[in-house]
Amino acid sequence: MKIAVLVNEGPYQHQAADSAYLFCAAALAKGHEIQRVFFYHDGVNNATKYTEPPQDDRNIVARWSKLAEEHKVDLVVCVAAGLRRGVVEAVLAPGFRISGLGQLIDSGIKADRLVVFGD
């Protein structure tokens, strides 16, 4: 099954980013394809390389980067939402790229399911 994922919440304000990551990892482990993960609204904050959690806390940004590297998952940050929050090309963590809402529409069309995390 091809799955598209939409993440609307930041990495440490809400459980949505953790849930989305764990969902993607579990889906991949079961043989499903993650067609794309689209980060929108405060979800764009999952993409900044300047995130530095304490050593005893999980590093959600690094988890996303590793997922993209290991499984070739397309991690797309909404350009408009990113600009509003200072998330631009220069601050992106490895594996992330910036694009427009057309990528979300494309995912919805091409995937069998679109799963949304966060409001």
| Per-residue buried b or exposed e for 12-50, using 16+ beta carbons within 10 Å of the residue's own CB | eebebbbebbebbbebbeeeebbbbbbbbbbbbbbbbee
Cβ partners under 8 Å of residue 82, min gap 6 = 44, 47, 88, 98
Question: Where do we find the tokens 């993409």?
Answer: 47
Known catalytic residue at 24: no
Query: Could you say which of 17, 78, 87, 93 is catalytic?
Result: 78
Catalytic residue positions?
78
